[in-house]
Chain A
């Protein structure tokens, strides 16, 4: 499934894996890579067959928003919302125009989030999927607008929302306007919640800053992928301020689960069935 998607996007296999591991000298007809986590040599084909999870160590590598959509929701059921919206350099911030142009090119998206409606195991839901390759999934005013609209539409249409988050936080090139998106999205989540509707968030690696401190943590049910970094302040900043070396597992999903801020950690291979079961428990239809 992922291989087909990669072909459609016009990327080569090497491009699609370039962000998480180093291509190795090819064995004839097969491309090998070394896993960024366990460093073992694996076949790209095996990685793709395994939803981009390392078959040796279980490391969950990053997915694009379209890959996430493809492996989670029912085929050909997705209708995108607000696809035309794109950011502008509202503050005239230095170098931001160039960054936006690069982000659009490298992600193939107009902004750092994909929103719309889809079915999951034949159940309707609104979908919010953030895109790591677009400025590390940072939240500017278009991300805020699209997420807010998704919740408003879901409230109108009485749909549950499933959000996959990945974000470096608020987008500083948009100054105070980006900060205000935290309040704006939270307001829309609250209205959706007050209407008695279900919101599930799936925190993927990494979910930090202003997104953690707004809609990522506001789900009725908060799930994380294994090993995902989940936090508010950046690790480097905390190390600098406190002058301590933080343990490796600090801010990892397993640590955050232990501290009581997420409901469960779900492996990618079990994500679809878990989400489906949760939707059924809230839709009143037993499978």
Chain B
């Protein structure tokens, strides 16, 4: 499958979005709203519930299923208040010693006047800093699109997993082709050049696990949910046993090693 075909599959209408994962994996989910500063951002679905016998905090970037919901959720593109809601719930998870599980699916942080006025850059920056030292186990799963800083703002985790046909990129292929080459005709070429597939990211050491999905999560959703359930069960058991200092040191090193490979 070419990189561009993966991009299309990652964005495919009917592919399970964050809420489907929450419904399938979390029992007794209670959604919590608002950033306590400005508003409640529909692009971020967040709350608490049971993963097996363990209370967890779950945060998802939700694109929405039908047109009406897509509009209400701004197509999964969060504004500063969405990132601040996510951070508020992460800090709450830390306070109550609950692991954090994120489901990431976004074309990117919302690009608009209000988002700039309310400090989109500042909101993402604060999340990056705070996640790095969040004193509780943290797993992030890219289920569809991992769009740049808007996806990273929920993914400074102990482990990051990706679905087999998910993508994670510094910029969309369209944006890359248009900015670098001033030519959207070269979008497919940009998709290849950006090395944005789960397989590429695994090779770079950016993610720990590729979740198999066969022809696609929209066809095999039950199998995908089961695979994630099993993996979360065993990984959370390991992470929850770790001493916090060691957990944070490992998290820091996870990102510290990315890029530079020695003199």
Query: Do A and B interact with each other, yes or no?
Result: yes
Q: A137 vs B155: C-alpha distance in the bound complex, in angstroms?
A: 25
Contacts of B109 in A (CB 8 A): 213, 232-233
Q: Shortest distance in angstroms between A217's beta carbon and chain B's nearest beta carbon?
A: 4
Partner of A218, one of B119, B129, B175: B129
Bits for B190-225, please: 1 = Cβ < 8 Å to A, else 0: 000111100011001010000000000000000000
Contacts A170-B148, A261-B122: A232 and B255 contacting too (C-beta < 8 A)?
no
B116 in the interface (beta carbon within 8 A): yes
A141 CA to B252 CA in the complex, in Å? 16
Task: State in angstroms the CA–CA spacing of A35 and B170 once bound together.
Answer: 36
Select from chain A the residue with minimum beta-carbon distance to B186.
A94
- Which of A176, A182, A184 interacts with B169 by CB under 8 Å? A176
Q: Size band of the A side of the interface? A: 35 or more
A190 nearest CB across to chain B (Å): 4
B232 close to chain A: CB less than 8 A: no
Interface residues of B (CB under 8 A from A): 109, 111-113, 115-122, 124-126, 128-130, 132-133, 148-149, 152-153, 155-156, 168-171, 175-176, 179-180, 189, 193-196, 200-201, 204, 206, 252, 255-256, 258-260, 263
Q: Which residue on chain B has the smallest CB distance to residue A237?
A: B111
Q: Are B252 and A187 in contact (CB-based, < 8 A)?
A: yes
Contacts of A91 in B (CB 8 A): 193-195
Q: Do B260 and A191 touch (CB < 8 A)?
A: no
Q: Check B129–A190 contact: CB distance below 8 A.
A: yes
Question: Which of B133, B176, B259 is close to A190, meaning CB atoms less than 8 Å apart?
Answer: B133
A189 and B169 CA atoms in complex are apart in Å by 23
Residue of A nearest to B111 (CB): A233
Tell yes or no: A238 within 8 A of B by CB: yes
Known contacts: A180-B255, A191-B252. The answer to whether A261 contacts B119 by CB under 8 A is yes
Query: Within 8 Å CB of A238, what residues of B?
Result: 111-113, 116
Inter-subunit contact A233/B133 (CB<8 Å): no
Q: From residue A40, how far is it (CB to closest CB) to chain B in Å?
A: 31
**Do A177 and B204 have beta carbons less than 8 Å apart?**
yes
Among residues of B, the one whose C-beta sits closest to the C-beta of A211 is B121
B interface footprint on A196-224 (CB within 8 Å = 1, 0 otherwise): 00000000000001101111111000000
